[in-house]
Amino acid sequence: MIELMLVTSLVLFGLTIAITLIRIILGPSLADRIFGLDMIGITLISVIAIVSILLNTNVFLDVILIFGILAFISTIAFGKYMERGVIIERKRDS
Amino acid sequence: MKQIKSNDVMLRTVTRVVTFIILSFSLYLFFAGHNAPGGGFIGGLMTASALLLMYLAFDMKTLRKALPFDFTALISIGLLLAIGTGVTTMLLGYPFLTQFFAYFQLPIIGETELTTALPFDLGIFLVVVGIALTITLTIAEDDK
């Protein structure tokens, strides 16, 4: 019963990723694509959690934290590229 | 058109908190590598990403004053550590890169297994941090 529920949620998460991928491909602006990529990263965290319940192991819990950190840093880097044009500034101008 | 000066106080405040969390997580990954997933490589990458987050939130001049390391020197220090663990066992009469381990009673943690694989892993850690930051900062420093 529990396994059926977990597999169902995996299918629903796959549908979420597919719909987000459509938004990334069709997205009219750069911000839509960045949000789509961030949302795919967050959804993959949930997928990893459910897979680690299904496989009955807890060695994937580090992967969840690493995915969260990497999604955060990459979103900030894309946002700075969108706003300023450079990612790492040479000198603060304020 | 004049560029509007932006004030990213939220990014800088979040960075001050999150950097400590990422650095402690990378230290956990480094020390857990003997019995659990983790190790020198992924711990070094997490440390490099924490420093990269500080470079993203602040600028290069401030960070050079705050972290006055030469990251290319970190690569050579790490390689010397990794080779030194091998050569030390060679000087004692054992083959190259022989590993030893023993159990010690440490004051707070209790009985702990200390191995000579830890300095080797520390060498990998320093090499990975040095290479990742050298590549990133060299690309970021060039003029357009």
* CATH architecture, domain A2-84: Orthogonal Bundle (1.10)
Smallest Cβ distance to A88: which of B18, B25, B60? B60
Specify the pTM: 0.86
Q: What is the pLDDT of residue B69?
A: 82
Q: What is the pLDDT of residue B5?
A: 65
DSSP B66-131: H----HHHHHHHHHHHHHHHHHHHHHTTSPTT---EEEEEETTTEEEEEETHHHHHHHHHHHHHHH
* Interface check B22 vs A, CB under 8 A: yes
Interface A–B counts its CB contacts (< 8 A) at 53
Residue in B with minimal Cα distance to A68:
B22
Q: Classify the C-alpha dihedral A53-A59-A61-A66 as positive or negative.
A: negative
* Across A6-10, A69-73, B54-58, B103-107, least confident range: B103-107
- pLDDT (tens, 9 = 90+) of chain B, 144 residues, equals 556 666 788 999 999 999 999 999 999 999 988 888 888 899 999 999 999 999 998 888 888 888 888 889 999 999 999 999 989 888 888 888 888 887 877 777 777 778 888 899 999 999 999 999 999 988 888 765
The span from the CA of B98 to the CA of B87, in Å, is 9
Domain ranges of chain A: 2-84
Question: Which chain B positions have a beta carbon within 8 Å of A91's beta carbon?
Answer: 59-61
ipTM (interface predicted TM): 0.84
